[in-house]
Structures are given as C-alpha cells and as structure tokens.
Chain A
C-alpha cells in the first residue's frame, strides 16, 4: 500500500463529527456542578478552609479533563488515519486505525457529488463532500470535512473527472487529476429558486395544514363543550403533523436549482445546507404533481427516477428523488425542458396541463363508472419522444417517460376489464417515486400503445447507442431527423 499522494482532511473533522456529544457532556457537567465549581474556586482562594468538598470537585474535574483529553487523542488518531487521494481512475479513501478500511470509487461510476453541511460544520466553515456511486445502500464515499472553498473545488474537480471519463465511455483512459483542474467548469445556468415565502405557503396549503386546522377546530369545540381532557388525545397527531411540516420547511428552505454542463445541481436547507447533483442522462422518468389546494396558484412538485439511485435505502435517499417541492407552472416547464432535453415533449406536457389535446387517448365512456371522478383525466399521450400519462382527480399528476427509457411494459386485464373490453398498461421504470401507468383504457388503444412502444423505444435506443447521444443531452436540438 503506497501512501503517495494521500491527503488528510481538516484536523477539526473528528471533533465536529463527535462534537455534539462532547459539547453535551461538558455542558451537562457544568450545568450540574456550576455551584460547587464556583465554590471550589472560591474555597481555594479562601485558603482551603473546607478542603474536602473542593478536592472532590477537583477530582471530578480531573476525570472530566482526562475524558476530554482521551477524546481529543482518539479524534486526532482517527484524523491521522483518514486520508484520501485522487488516483488515476478512482478516488480512494483510507479510514480507521485498528480496523482499516479502504474504499474507492471509480470516476466513471460516480453518480453524483453532494456537499453536505451540518449545523456544526456550518458554524466552523467546513463542508462534507459526498461521492455517490451506483449500488444500493451504503455506497457513498464521504470526505469530511474540508473548508468550504476546498469542498467546492473538490466537487467541481470530481464532476469534471466523472464527465470526462464518461465522455470517453470508460475506455480505460487514465485521467490526470492535475490536468483536470485546468479544464474550465462549464458556466452554470440558473434555473429556478424557490422563495421561502412560497415554501411556507405550500406547506400551509398542504394536507398537513388541513389536518392541523381540523384538529384545532375539533379541540376548540371539545374545550368549549367542557371536554377539555379529551383534547390531549389529539396532541400526538398534532405534533407529528406539525413536525412533518417543519421538516419540509427546513429541508427545502432557499432551494436553488442550477444547470452546469449536463448536471443539475440543487442547493437547499435551513439548518443543514445540502448541495446535490443529478446527471441529466441518469434521469429515467419525471412526474409532476399538483395537490388540489395548489391548483389555483398553479404550483407543481416535481419528482424524478434516477438510475442507480439508492435501492431500498435510507429515508435520506428517498427524499432526494423529489427535485423541487413547489414551483410555478412556468418554472416546471423550464425544468422539464432541461430534464427531457426536448421542447416538443415539454409542449406536449403543457398542452396536457392546459386541457385535453386531440391526440390524447382517454378512457372510453363505458369505463366511466369505474373512475367516476378521474374519468376525463386518465389517459396517455404518445408523444414524439416520450409517453406522457395523466391521472388523478383531486391531485393532478402527469408522468413522463422517454420511449427509450422504458424498461419493460406490462399490459394487464382482469375479469371485469375483459367483460368491458378494457385493459391497463404499466410502464416499468427504474426504482423511484415515478411509476407511470394508465388504467382501464380501451383494449385496442392499449394494444396500439404497445405497438407504439415497440417501434419508438427501439428507435430512440438506436439513436442513443449510435453515439449521437441524442436524447439526454440538453444542448442537442433536432435529434432523429
């Protein structure tokens, strides 16, 4: 094992990681012993008249100092053995003094590079760089912590390396890390920023807010009716709902989305700042949703399926699939244009939002009583580059999958559907929140959709594999003509 080129992280790092615990212990001790410490100091000044109590406190203080020293030594040891290196084709990381761990992520396997700044790191001006690679669960490599500027530079560097290696399609071309520093980072294009007021409003106009209001009204009525003690029963519900609203608020505070090259980066968070990036060519499917309270405002939330993103992993990963919590229709259209790299698809989605275009295939009349409310909304539009499905009665939703990104297609027909000559279709995408489907359409139109999928999916795929890199690149116009 060569130690050549390995760099250590910022020396304060382990203390920030364990910092809260140390602070807590010290704080607790001080708050408990503040009187006796003051007394002991006073007693020493006074010439050690009642030395017994003072000595006891000193002993305790000594133990505390020892514990803190021990923690410092442990922290420094852990810092000493935590080293990373940008190698020829991968980033490597050594951790652990006794149980050594060596983790490395190849540049061409990098899915995203995030910057995470917990509260304590933020106060000390440090950041964690997190390198996500494909693979389920714990597949990230975290460099914690670096100075903010260094972390930013590291992120740019890694993204540049990943893109360059990706561009040469992993042809084992070793990339000189030093050379990559010189490559200009593509200028970032600002896509949208969500004003805090809108995040607050979106939370106020959400289901959680309604629950809170209803519970509050019920509680007041109960209190007036003289059933005060019963109000307590609503408390857990209230706390949970308010907590969820609060989490949403802090998580999405000050969200800005930018486009750098072919990577979408977003920055957000009130207490913990988080910068994350999604390479556009990894986006497999997009969904936009509009809860009914947002309809008047014209707001949408936007979710994506990203290939290689956490499969059945922690909640942190699950929240990452939501790209934008609330955006106006115009902003959503702009984002869609970037995500799909295609104005035609975006225009088609726009026409679906505005009304029902002529080539939209909806449910036949005989399916009406199966979906009395959403009847007019369910259906699909076989677009030029993507299939767009629509559904939902109160909460409108639209899903977009490019033809070439459909993993497989499932048609299904139950006994009832068979009697009515209806069928349903599921477009299977990669793991994620978006699962486009249409239910109870005319069987013939579903079968036509399948034929369409077969013809178009293979065409898009061929375009893609011919090296024109057609679909995913946002800068390519005029793709298969």
Chain B
C-alpha cells in the first residue's frame, strides 16, 4: 500500500540533491543584497536597522536548513497505472495522476538549473488543479521520464 510517508509500497525516487543547492543559491542571491544594504545603513545611518539585518540573517539560516529538508522530502514513483509524487514533511501531500489522464508533459529548465544539469517536469491533466510537478530532476532522467510519460499517456489515453 502506498503511504504518505515511508519507503514501502513503491520504488520511491528522490529528486537530485543539487536542487537544494540551486534553491539555496537563489534564496541567498535574493536575501544577501538586502541584508548587506541594511547592514551598511545600520553602520552609517541608523543603528537600529541592524535588527532588520539580524532578522534577515536568521531567516537566511532557517531557509538554508528548510530548503534542504524540503528537497529531501520530495520523491516520486512510477506505479503500474499512475505517477505518484510526494512532498512536504510537516504538511505532507501525495499526488497521484493516472497515466491515462495526462494531457501533456512540460519540461522546463532555467539558465542556472541547466548549468547544473537539472530540469523540472510538470504533468498537466484536464484540470489545472492537478499539481503534478517534479522539480529538480537530473536532465537526462527528466527527458527519459517525459518520453515515458507521454508514451504511457498515449497508450492508456481515454476520451476526456
């Protein structure tokens, strides 16, 4: 039986740990300039801005830990009839999408992700509410998965 947590029930695949690195770098790139600006202002203008800088640093530290946890919590599995995606450790979600319901599969990759060899897969059904995305797969795995999903979707396709 497929569980919300735990390894049993299916061949769960983790996403690439590089995704945590990508997300950490992105978060740092956003937070760093702001906290630097705050620190600079604290030194030269108003000392109490240091509180803001400190909060940002704490937030950054927390994010560095959280992003790792989040990425480790993402896993996916190809079941005989369905694609299963698990996310979250505190707020757990398990999404299953029957292959026959797949309308199309998107493969996206930003410049930085491409550089580290990662790609995201988004599985679209007839409903925009089906949140079937697997972020941060190694590019070749993502490409293989995309082809496989498209083929399976075609084979088991049923009229909408």
Specify whether A and B are partners. Answer: yes
User: What is A's interface to B at a CB cutoff of 8 Å?
Assistant: 281-282, 307-308, 311, 404, 406-415, 418, 423, 428-431, 435, 443, 447-448, 450-451, 453-454, 457-458, 461-462, 464-465
Residues in chain B near residue A408, CB distance under 8 A: 95-98, 101, 125, 127, 130, 132
Residues 120-139 of B, flagged 1 when their CB comes within 8 A of A and 0 if not, give 00000111111110000000
Residue of B nearest to A435 (CB): B129
Tell me which of B4, B97, B128, B156 has the highest count of chain A C-beta atoms within 10 A of its own C-beta: B4
Whether A451 contacts B90 by the Cβ 8 Å rule is no
Q: Given A410-B94, A448-B1, A450-B96, decide whether A431 and B128 contact each other with a Cβ distance below 8 A.
A: yes
> Are A412 and B127 neighbours in the complex by a CB distance under 8 Å?
no
Q: Which residues of A contact B100 (CB under 8 A)?
A: 458, 461, 465
CB of B67, distance to nearest CB on chain A (Å): 19
Determine the chain B residues whose CB is within 8 A of the CB of A451 once the complex forms: 1-2
* Closest 3 pairs (CB-CB, A-B): A408-B130, A408-B97, A411-B94
Name 20 A/B residue pairs within 8 A (Cβ), A-sorted. Answer: A307-B126, A406-B98, A406-B101, A408-B95, A408-B132, A409-B96, A410-B95, A411-B94, A413-B4, A413-B92, A414-B90, A431-B128, A431-B129, A435-B129, A447-B3, A451-B2, A457-B98, A458-B81, A462-B156, A465-B100
- CB neighbours (8 Å) of B132 from chain A are 408
Task: Provide the residues of chain B in CB contact with A448, threshold 8 Å.
Answer: 1
- What number of residue pairs across chains A and B have CB atoms under 8 A from each other? 102
The answer to the question of B159 belonging to the interface, with a C-beta cut-off of 8 Å to chain A, is yes
Residues of chain B within 8 A (CB-CB) of A406 are 98, 101
Given A431-B127, A458-B98, A458-B100, CB of A410 within 8 Å of CB of B93: yes
Collect the chain A residues with CB atoms within 8 Å of residue B131's CB: 410
Contact B2 A409 (CB under 8 A): no
Contact A307 B160 (CB under 8 A): yes
Q: Which of A308, A415, A458 contacts B160 (CB 8 A)?
A: A308
Report B-chain residues with C-beta under 8 Å of the C-beta of A428: 125, 127, 129-130
Residues on B with C-beta less than 8 A from A418 are 92
Query: Bound state CA distance, A308 and B81, in angstroms?
Result: 25
Query: Could you tell me the distance between the alpha carbons of A448 and B2 in the complex, rounded to whole angstroms?
Result: 9
In the bound complex, do residue A407 and residue B127 qualify as a contact, i.e. CB atoms below 8 Å apart?
Answer: yes
Q: Are B91 and A413 in contact (CB under 8 A)?
A: yes
Number of interface residues of B (CB under 8 A): 31
B3 to chain A, nearest CB (A): 6
Q: Who on chain B is nearest to A412 by CB?
A: B93
Residue A407 contacts which of B3, B81, B94, B101 (CB distance < 8 angstroms)?
B101
- Is B90 a contact partner of A453 (Cβ separation < 8 A)? no
The answer to whether residues A454 and B156 also contact, given A408-B132, A413-B91 and a CB cut-off of 8 A, is no
Residue of B nearest to A458 (CB): B81
What 20 new A-B contacts, CB under 8 Å, besides A311-B128, A409-B95, A414-B91? Answer: A308-B160, A407-B125, A407-B126, A408-B95, A410-B93, A415-B91, A423-B4, A428-B125, A429-B127, A431-B129, A443-B4, A447-B1, A447-B2, A451-B2, A454-B79, A457-B98, A458-B81, A461-B158, A465-B100, A465-B157
* Chain A residues with CB below 8 A from B96, complex form: 408-409, 450, 453-454
| A residues less than 8 Å from B4 (CB atoms) | 411, 413, 423, 443, 447
Whether, in the assembled complex, B82 has its beta carbon less than 8 Å from a beta carbon of chain A, the answer is yes
Closest CB in chain B relative to A318 CB, distance in Å: 16
Q: How far is the CA of A404 from the CA of B131 in the complex (A)?
A: 19
Looking at the assembled complex, report how far the CB atom of A222 sits from the nearest CB atom of chain B, in whole angstroms: 46
Taken together as a complex, chains A and B put the C-alpha atoms of A447 and B9 apart, in Å, by 11
B130 neighbours in A (Cβ, 8 Å):
407-408, 410, 428
Closest to A457 in B: B98
Partner of B159, one of A281, A409, A413: A281
Chain A residue with the shortest CB-CB distance to B90: A415
Question: What string of 1s and 0s marks CB contacts (under 8 Å) between B97-131 and chain A?
Answer: 11011000000000000000000000001111111
Cα–Cα distance between A381 and B126 once the two chains are bound (Å): 25
| Docked-complex contact A430 and B127, CB < 8 angstroms | yes
